[in-house]
Amino acid sequence: MAIVQELDPSVALTKEFHTNNGTTSAPIVTGKTVKKLYKHACAAKCCETRDSEHTNVKDEKNALTAKSASESIIHCHKLHHGDWVTVSFTQQGEDVKKIAAKALENYQDFDPDCEGWKFQPSYMPIVHRWDRLKEIQAKATEENGKQAADGLMNFLSPLLASSIDSLAKMKATKKISFSGIWQIFPPG
């Protein structure tokens, strides 16, 4: 059992340990592991007070980056009128990057390498190359990228659904809304 040590700038807190039936029991220490936690309180009182493994935001951010380093895609959200909405997603995995690079090949004015593999709404380049992405997924084999292609498409499908749907409708009805012009005239 690890020891949880809560550090507060002013007060040293003693954590009570509860057993399953709710009665308080003394902490049982069987290991030598110590976890230090640091209490952060928002000065503006807009955020909930929380414990962190780090004393400052920069260290916390660096630790999160290190912890997320092996993930294929980093999907960033922000709170918008009570809902968590996508801000961007960044491709990190070499396997998914390879698929996207192939799909976006020679796409005018968009080089994923230059963009740091970061994609933001409305994901114009990906919408324009959606058919090519589907083609790559269909051709992928178990030995050659199928898992990555399926994973990428499962991730992208709900995210791009409305854009792909409106592009299809515009093509079908030949009606183009002003905001939809980019969808019907891909740059390359």
| CB contact burial 71-86 (16+ within 10 A = b; e otherwise) | eebbeeeeeeeeeeee
Q: Is residue 57 near Zn ion by the rule CB under 5 A? A: no
Is the CB of 39 or the CB of 134 nearer to Zn ion?
39
Residue 2 binds to Zn ion (criterion: CB under 5 A): no
Give Cβ neighbours of residue 137 (< 8 Å, ≥ 6 apart). Answer: 99, 146, 149, 150, 152, 153
Q: By C-beta, is 51 or 95 nearer to Zn ion?
A: 51
Q: Which is nearer to Zn ion, 52 or 166 (CB)?
A: 52
For residue 103, count other CB atoms closer than 10 A to its CB.
Answer: 23
Question: Closest distance between Zn ion and the C-beta of residue 49, in Å?
Answer: 10
How many residues touch Zn ion under the rule CB under 5 A: the total is 4
Smallest separation (angstroms) from Zn ion to the CB of 81: 18
Name the one range near Zn ion by CB under 5 A: 46-54, 55-63, 79-87, 137-145. 46-54
Candidates 42, 63, 64, 85; binder of Zn ion (CB under 5 A) is: 42
**Pair of tokens at residue 174:** 């030949």
Q: Which of 11, 12, 46, 69 binds Zn ion (CB under 5 A)?
A: 46
Determine, following the binding rule CB under 5 A, whether residue 43 of this chain makes contact with Zn ion.
no
Which burial class, exposed, middle or buried, applies to 2 when counting CB atoms under 10 A from its CB (0-12, 13-18, 19+)?
A: exposed
Q: Which of 46, 40, 30 is nearest to 6 (CA)?
A: 40
- Which of 40/129 has CB closer to Zn ion? 40
Q: Which residues bind Zn ion (CB under 5 A)?
A: 42, 44, 46-47
